[in-house]
């Protein structure tokens, strides 16, 4: 005989296995380092597990992503710090071959570019473009207005363009060799 908790536990485990890498990727871009991202995902998944009966009724991934972003916001409100991302294998679907040197170079450049943004700008850019969320969904997730998302996105993209224009081309050329 199966107990109700056993079924919920199996459902949650399947969810975590299916979406854990995607949550970790978003968390890495939000936090800027792998270890903090792992902690953030673990915190978020713990909260999702506690609320599993409510979480599984709707879009479970969206619920978990919101918990992840909220947990990150709580963290950076208490303290601010950054470290560089550590290397990690790419987890692309379909087992596509990856040029790991180019991937690492691209990842490092993205991390450097995102570091010029404020925490709010980074969260909005990651959700809009990394998670491909609509402005209204980003606004709902972060608890801000759609206008704030639009203006912050515009400001953040301007900073990223300026960063791109001032990046040392020799450094980029060297990274491609």
Kindly report the number of other CB atoms within 10 A of residue 105's CB atom: 17
Count of structural domains within the chain: 2
Which tens digit of pLDDT belongs to each residue from 145-170? Answer: 999 999 999 999 999 888 888 875 54
Residue 109 lies in a domain: yes
Which is more confidently placed, 90 or 16?
Answer: 16
Residue range(s) defining the domain that contains residue 68: 1-82
Residue at a domain's end among 49, 82, 115: 82
Q: What are phi and psi of 134, to 5 degrees?
A: -70, 155
Tens digit of each residue's pLDDT (9 = 90 or more) over 103-136? 777 777 888 888 889 989 999 998 888 888 889 9
Residue 84: is its pLDDT beyond 80? no
Mark whether 72 and 31 lie in a shared domain.
yes
């Amino acid at each position: 005989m199966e107990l109700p908790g056993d079924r919920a536990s199996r459902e949650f485990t399947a969810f975590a296995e299916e979406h854990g890498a995607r949550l970790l990727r978003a968390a890495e871009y939000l936090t800027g380092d792998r270890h903090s991202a792992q902690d953030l995902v673990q915190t978020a998944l713990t909260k999702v597990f506690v609320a599993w009966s409510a979480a599984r009724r709707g879009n479970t991934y969206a619920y978990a992503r919101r918990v992840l972003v909220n947990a990150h916001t709580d963290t950076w409100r208490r303290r601010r710090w950054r470290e560089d991302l550590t290397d990690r294998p790419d987890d692309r679907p379909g087992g596509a071959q990856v040029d790991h040197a180019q991937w690492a170079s691209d990842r490092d450049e993205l991390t450097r570019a995102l570091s010029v943004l404020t925490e709010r700008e980074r969260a909005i850019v990651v959700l809009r473009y990394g998670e491909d969320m609509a402005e209204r969904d980003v606004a709902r997730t972060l608890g801000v207005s759609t206008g704030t998302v639009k203006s912050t996105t515009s400001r953040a993209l301007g900073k990223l363009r300026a960063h791109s224009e001032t990046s040392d081309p020799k450094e980029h050329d060297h990274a491609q060799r």
